[in-house]
Structure formats: structure tokens, C-alpha cells
Amino acid sequence: MNFFQQYGITTDLVIILGIDLAIAIVLLTLMRFLQGWSAKVSSREELSERDNFAFGISTAGAVAALGIVLTGAITGEAATSYTVEAIGMTAYGLFGLILIKLGRYLHDKIALNEFAKNEQILKGNVSVALVDAAAAVATAIIIRAVLLWAEDLTLDTFVAIFAAFIISQLMMVLLTRYRENQYAKRNQGASMQQALMQGQTALAIRHSGYMIAMALSFNAASHFIYYEPTAYLHNIGGWLIFSIIMLVLLSIIIAIVKKLVLVGIDIADEVEKQHNIGTAAVEMAISIAVALILTALMA
């Protein structure tokens, strides 16, 4: 027995992993160009000639999101044949890419409905780009969780993934509306979306943290909901109920931890009026840390 055989590394496994890697590279490259095509601009010109930081941040979020989704498609287990592996990886990858693009579209039209996102990004609005990138990453985290939760490459699997995706977008809208309501209460009815459009980066960083934290907490549902391929209502209902519970629990714990970690600091004033990026970054870290800890505890 040689070194590779000792650790279960066979020729078939190496070839399958090579197939997965090749398909992943092609899809990541495609995502980069899709960013330009969807905005009807040249991604090369935006990134290297105009030095559009906002477009770069948005593209980075899209590429990172697809990478996250692909980690849910790559299991490391040998398929029955190279063709089956290639088809499965490509199908999951393309489906994930489509859902990421669809999620960004829904987020633009429903959650952030007071301005044209692509227009703001092409103008170089970094705040809007940060929120856009975070929304893509959050969507990808949820898609990955469902890919690992569901089993087999069947129509039922894709239905389950799409159902959880719809629930996640609903939760994203609810989270945004809640944060908007809180912002308006503290700022004499002002609009959080208009503040983002005006380039308030600190506000964008904080909101991004909440979205990613919500997505991470969404993962916990996969540990409690049993996957039943044809039980569509059971699957949808389970993800919906659990995600609402997690969002409420997450919001309460984050509020408590923020008061303890940032004791003596007027967080709302620092972020919303003084545009303190440092404080916003700490808020973002707290949100993500709490979500990671909750998910680990429930796993």
C-alpha cells in the first residue's frame, strides 16, 4: 500500500476532484463577466480603466457568493461516473449562479426599492456596493446550507433548494424593513435607503453584518428539519418557522452583546450621525460572531 492509498486517495477521486475544480473555475470566470453583461458595461473597463471601486466590490461579492455555493456542491465523494459528477457539479453550480443573480434582482426590487442599484454602483457608490455584495454572500450561505441539507440530484432536490431560497429572500426583506424602521425612529423619519444612496458607508457595513449574520443563523435549520423529498409544504413550513425564530433570537442576543461590548458608546450616534466606520465594523463583527456561536451551539 503506497502513501496515497493509505489515505484513500485513488486515481478516480483525483480525476473527480479535478473535474469539480475545472467546472468551478469556469463558473467563477463566468460570474465575473456576467456582472458586466447584466449592467450592460464592460467589466474590464469598470475594473481597470475607470477604477470603479463600487463595481469591484459588487463583483467581489458575486464571485465570493458563487464560491460559497460551489462548496455545497463539492462533496468529495466519488460519483458513479465522471459524466455524472460533471453533470451534477455543473447543474448545482449553474442553479446556484442563477439563484444568486435572482436573489440580487429581488433584493434590488423589493428590499432596496427606493433607488436603482446598478445605476448607483456604476456611479461609484461604495455603500450600495457593500450592501449588494453582502446580500449576495448571505444568499449564497443559505443556498450552500440547503445544498448540504438536501440529498441526491433530482427534481425534488431543486424544488427544496428553491423553496428555501424564497424563504431566505423573504427574511432578507423583513430584516431590511425592521432595520429601516429602527433607523427612521432614531432619525426623525429619515430613510435608511436614502442614507445608503448618499454614501453612508458605516451604515452599509452595519447592515451588511446583519444580513450575513441572518444567513449564518439560517444554517441552523438544517440540523433540525428532516429532509423529505416530496414533502414540499413540510420543508417550506419548517424553514419559514425556524428562520423567523432564529431571526428574533439573533436580534435579541446581538442587541445585548452590543451593549456589553460597546458599553459607554452611543452606537446609533456614532454610526448614523458621525458615520464612524470603526464602530460599524465592530457592530458587524459582533453580529457575525453571535450568529456563528448560535449556529455552532445548535449543531
- The pTM score is 0.88
Q: Is the pLDDT of residue 4 over 60?
A: no
pLDDT digits (tens, 9 = 90+) for 125-166: 999 999 999 999 998 998 888 887 776 667 777 887 888 888
How many C-beta atoms surround the C-beta of residue 178 within 10 A?
Answer: 13
Domain count, the chain: 1
Q: Say if CB 212 and CB 288 are below 8 A apart.
A: yes
pLDDT digits (tens, 9 = 90+) for 155-197: 777 887 888 888 888 888 989 999 999 999 999 889 999 999 9
DSSP-derived 3-state class of residue 136:
helix
- For residue 181, the model assigns a pLDDT of 93
Could you list the residue range(s) of the whole structural domain that residue 284 is in? 3-298
Q: Is the pLDDT of residue 8 over 70?
A: no
Report the distance separating Cα 160 and Cα 231, nearest Å.
9
**Residue 270: which of 262, 280, 282, 284 has the closest Cα?**
280
DSSP for residue 222: G
Report the distance separating Cα 210 and Cα 119, nearest Å.
24
Separation in Å, CA 182 to CA 33, 67, 253:
37, 33, 16
DSSP-derived 3-state class of residue 290:
helix
- For residue 210, the model assigns a pLDDT of 94
pLDDT digits (tens, 9 = 90+) for 227-251: 777 777 777 788 888 888 888 888 8
- For residue 243, the model assigns a pLDDT of 82
Q: Which three cell numbers stand for residue 228?
A: 423529505
Report the distance separating Cα 194 and Cα 183, nearest Å.
11
Separation in Å, CA 52 to CA 120, 125, 126, 171, 299:
11, 9, 9, 31, 41
Report the distance separating Cα 134 and Cα 130, nearest Å.
6
